[in-house]
Amino acid sequence: MNQEKTGEIIRFFRTKSNLTQNQLAERISVSNKTVSKWECGKGCPDISLLTRLAEIFGTDVDTLLSGKIEKNENEKGNMKKLRFYVCKDCGNIITSTSDAVINCCGNRLEALTPQKADENQQLNITDIGGEWFISSDHEMTKEHYISFAAYISDNTVMMFRQYPEWNLQITLPMFRTGRIMWYCTKCGLFYQNIHK
């Protein structure tokens, strides 16, 4: 931990939050001189205070420790570049349209890498009069199942949560073109392109 960088980031977040040193000190039960000392790079907060500081500032502990904010380029809004993250502990599904630092259940999540489905893995897609009916013979046990499927085009995302011991069956409006993606709890993220 670099004391000067951590101090600068604390000052940045404190002023961004419209807090005085005294107000911040009161919230975390330290003196305003202690906050001043941190901001001048002459000391660092005790490890026990970092979580509370991160909550107050709406950031994470890693940002406070590193002393820098990683800014993303402006994302261009193309949903085809959507990234998926799945928490192995709770099953939470998170998406982002550009690089992001995602944490869940105390774990840093990595973006899933989609694999093109081979012929045996592909979902069954049937035209039923202006709609697509999507189904699969994939195993759907509590230990091995498809937890979600998503239809993605350049400006649309439709997500369908799936549950163990239920058959995967989805009906969606027929679009000209797009991609269907699904996540298997054992095998990972797959995709197949669909066309009218």
pLDDT in tens, 5-49: 888 989 999 999 999 999 999 999 999 999 999 999 898 898 899
Measured CA to CA, the distance from residue 21 to residue 172 in angstroms comes to: 54
What is the value of pTM for the model shown? 0.68
Whether residue 124 is contained in a domain is answered as: yes
Whether residue 72 is contained in a domain is answered as: no
Note down the domain range covering 147: 79-195
Measured CA to CA, the distance from residue 17 to residue 12 in angstroms comes to: 9
> Which of 32, 66, 100 represents a domain boundary (last residue)?
66
Tokens of residue 121, six digits:
């893995």
Q: Is the pLDDT of residue 74 over 70?
A: no
| Residue 79 burial (10 A CB sphere; 0-12, 13-18, 19+) | middle
CATH code: domain of residue 26:
1.10.260.40
Whether residue 105 is contained in a domain is answered as: yes
| Percentage of the chain lying above the pLDDT 90 cut | 57
Whether residue 73 is contained in a domain is answered as: no
Q: Are residues 108 and 190 in the same domain?
A: yes
Q: What is the mean pLDDT of residues 83-98?
A: 92
CATH code: domain of residue 174:
2.60.40.730
> Which of 16, 42, 66 represents a domain boundary (last residue)?
66
Which residue type does 75 have? Answer: E
Domain count, the chain: 2
Q: Are residues 49 and 95 in the same domain?
A: no
Classify 27 as helix, strand or coil: helix
Q: Are residues 91 and 182 in the same domain?
A: yes
Q: Are residues 93 and 164 in the same domain?
A: yes
Whether residue 94 is contained in a domain is answered as: yes
Q: Are residues 53 and 133 in the same domain?
A: no
Whether residue 71 is contained in a domain is answered as: no
